[in-house]
Structure 1
Amino acid sequence: MRKKISLAVPVYYEQEVILQFLKETKAVLDTLPVDYEYVFVDDGSKDQTVAILKEQAKTNPRIKMVVLSYNHGKAFAATAAFTYATGDYILYMDPDLQDPPHEIPRFFETIEQGFDLVWGIRKEKKDKFLNRLYSKVFWGTLNKYTGLEIPKGIAVMRMFTREFAQNLLQYKETNRFVEGLFMKVGMHYTTLEIDQRERFAGVSKFNFRRKMQLAFDAIFDFSELPLKFAVRLGFLFVILGILALAGLAIAKWFFIDFQAGWPSLVSVIVVGIGLQLFFLGIVSLYIGRIYKEAKNRPLFSVKEFVNINQHENV
């Protein structure tokens, strides 16, 4: 029996690249001894992305689409794609063609060896120096303080089994860092080096603000680093305060007769208040995330389905 591959593809303002993506992936998939489908999830695009995919879906039943009711964020769009994918294997990738479709046969050959997950690892990250530096610092810090041990240089492109997907979808938290969830599922995985290309067209929507949001999500969701930092910093300031008071007492009693002024007192009070607010802010962020989880809201809201049974795999 032929295996089936589902391409799980979140899309967001991709009108310039989507037809080329379909063309290149189809050319590769048609050479493999598999059935396949596309599961696109539109994450609130306002351009022609949805219209183009709807037009293509009219003549190609392999093209399926979930249109979300507003912009949820890539992690939630990816979760929706995994939810409605029906293949034996799921290939997660972006439509920008940076992770090239010609690598798909290698993923299929590797996962057929008995792995549950095959990570794509970029041989060389085609990006600006600051973005490469950010990635290096981010992943290094995350692995050090969370113990996730995410492979270095991972790409979006990865393939995993139906069983792996079912385990992944058991994680219902609304604070979703997808790569961390993949590592929590665990199972038997390997890596595959791939060549990265330049983006086919358009610009990346993953700007600095979104990168920082991802960093905060990852650190707050999978580590207690901020809380530990607050405790250590607070302890450090207590020690410094005790040493400063002891030094002033010794200086006044044995060396210098001086009168302490109110500016120094005000400065100490301001620093103390600032530290308290800082620590309270860290705690509040964790409490806010607990509050979001406690509401237990659905992970995504669907506006429309195209070529897909809305009850399938849910």
Structure 2
Amino acid sequence: MARTKEKQLISIVIPLYNEVESLNELYQQINEVVKANKYNYEIIFVDDGSDDGSLDVLKKLRQKDKNVKIISFRRNYGKSAALAVGFEHAKGDVVITMDADLQDDPHEIPNLLKKLNEGYDLVSGWKKKRYDPITKTIPSKIFNFTVSTLTGIKIHDFNCGLKAYRKSVTQDIKVYGELHRYLPVLAHWAGYKIGEVIVQHHPRKYGKTKFGISRFLKGFLDLLTVLFTTRYFKRPLHLFGTVGLLVFLLGFGITLYLSLLKIIEGIALSNRPLFILGIMLTIVGVQFISIGLLGEMITRAYQHLETYSIKEIHLD
């Protein structure tokens, strides 16, 4: 049974890795917000294998505040794993996520909740004015534009750590690998309503950014994973068949054109690399279509295992 609005429990899930300098200040800021708004809350810190003393700081915070919960990994597994475990243990009707580096502002929590209560299931923060180096902001703009274009979801900042979720979203969406960047995409394709609100962003105060070019490249590879598993997982022929058909038609067109030249003008084909290319494209196109058909056969065989995200059910 859902809690009443007054007793609604808010779970604040914070993944962290080597943020020992920022944790006390972050806790104080969160404490100010929850006390001022009289929230019923829990703070779940997920220590992703820190080796700088972060866990010791968290233990001291828990000694003075039992609303502080700690989950500590034996080694570094990544942000997606930390969020997945945090979601699993969160008891709240609403889950707030934020990074531990003080760049996300806890004072935005009321704004996220207000937007969520407008009928959204997931509200993502938008760091409209960012205080990051250009080596991070430019790739981020390209990344967000690409994801928005390919998925059709009109939000500006997919990777913002500051988000609000209804509990049903965190229970439905499975986070693994590096897919935390695409939680709005996964939620959208599961049928949830996605919103966005502009949030305050702060310059990094302690430590150094963990962003690197490898994360940027991995992000686009993960985008392919998300697009396939959301749009084409149940209909692989739509993807492989479309690509295969286009490649096949291109190859067939080339070979047909050269064959007509041979018939009409007597031009030899044996010394035409374009003819070899046409044959190769035709073969590759047939192979793609065959892969799509095999995928469809496998999908049909496992249709009885398919699950659906149900919003409501009335049987009486």
Q: TM-score, normalised by structure 2?
A: 0.70
Aligned partner of 1:251 among 243, 247, 261: 261
Residue 151, structure 1, aligned to residue 159, structure 2:
no
Contact 1:168 1:181 in 2 (8 A): no
Displacement of 1:129 in angstroms is 4.4
Alignment of 1:30-179 (within 5 A): 30-111=35-116, 116-129=121-134, 131-147=136-152, 149=153, 151-154=155-158, 155-160=160-165, 164-172=166-174, 176=179, 177-179=182-184
Distance in 1 between residues matched to 2:268 and 2:114, nearest whole Å: 80
Alpha carbons of 1:79 and 1:268: their partners in 2 closer, same or farther (altered >3 Å)? same
Query: Out of 200, 204, 213, which is 1:199 matched to?
Result: 204
1:215 aligns with 2:219: no
CA drift of 1:8 comes to 0.8
The corresponding residue for 1:224 is 232
- Distance, in Å, in 1 between the alignment partners of 2:210 and 2:118 is 35
Residue 205 of structure 1: CA displacement? 2.5
Q: CA deviation at 1:93?
A: 0.9
- Which residue of structure 1 lines up, in the alignment, with residue 29 of structure 2? 24
- Aligned counterparts of 2:258 and 2:169: Cα–Cα separation in 1: 61
Distance 1:44 1:279, change over 3 A: farther
Distance 1:258 1:113 in 2: 70
Q: Alpha-carbon deviation of 1:74?
A: 1.7
1:11 aligns with 2:26: no
Q: Which one is further off, 260-269 or 50-59?
A: 260-269
| 1:142–1:219 Cα contact (<8 Å) kept | no
Match of 2:186, as an amino acid?
A: L
- Distance apart, 1:255 and its partner CA: 3.1
> Which of 236, 239, 245 is the equivalent residue of 2:249?
239
- Aligned-pair identity in percent equals 26
- Deviation at 1:169? 0.8
Distance 1:170 1:267, change over 3 A: closer
Give the structure with the higher percent strand: 1
* Contact residue 34 and residue 41 of structure 2 kept, 8 A: yes
Residues 75 and 236 (structure 1 numbering): CA distance in 2 closer, same or farther, change over 3 Å?
A: same
Paired residue type of 2:103: Q
Inter-partner Cα distance in structure 2 for 1:93 and 1:126: 16
Q: Deviations over 1:33-65 (max 9, x none)?
A: 223321011223333222221233223322211
Q: Secondary structure at the match of 1:65?
A: strand
1:112 CA drift (Å): 5.7
CA distance in 1, matches of 2:119, 2:282: 57
Structure 2 unpaired stretches of 5+: 1-5, 300-316
Q: Once structures 1 and 2 are overlaid, which stretch shifts more, 253-262 or 237-246?
A: 253-262
Higher relative contact order, chain-length normalized (CA < 8 Å, sep 6+): 1
Q: Measure how far apart 1:9 and its partner are.
A: 0.6
Q: Distance in 2 between matches of 1:151 and 1:81?
A: 24
Pick closer, same or farther for the CA change 1:215–1:253 going to 2, 3 Å: closer
| Gap runs ≥5 in structure 1 | 291-314
CA RMSD of aligned residues (A): 4.0
CA–CA distance in 2 between the matches of 1:264 and 1:190? 51
In 1, the alpha carbon distance for the partners of 2:253 and 2:45 equals 61
- Give 3-state SS (helix, strand or coil) of 1:236's partner: helix
Q: Secondary structure at the match of 2:162?
A: strand
Aligned counterparts of 1:51 and 1:158: Cα–Cα separation in 2: 27
TM-score, scaled relative to structure 1: 0.70
| Shift, 1:21, TM fit | 1.5
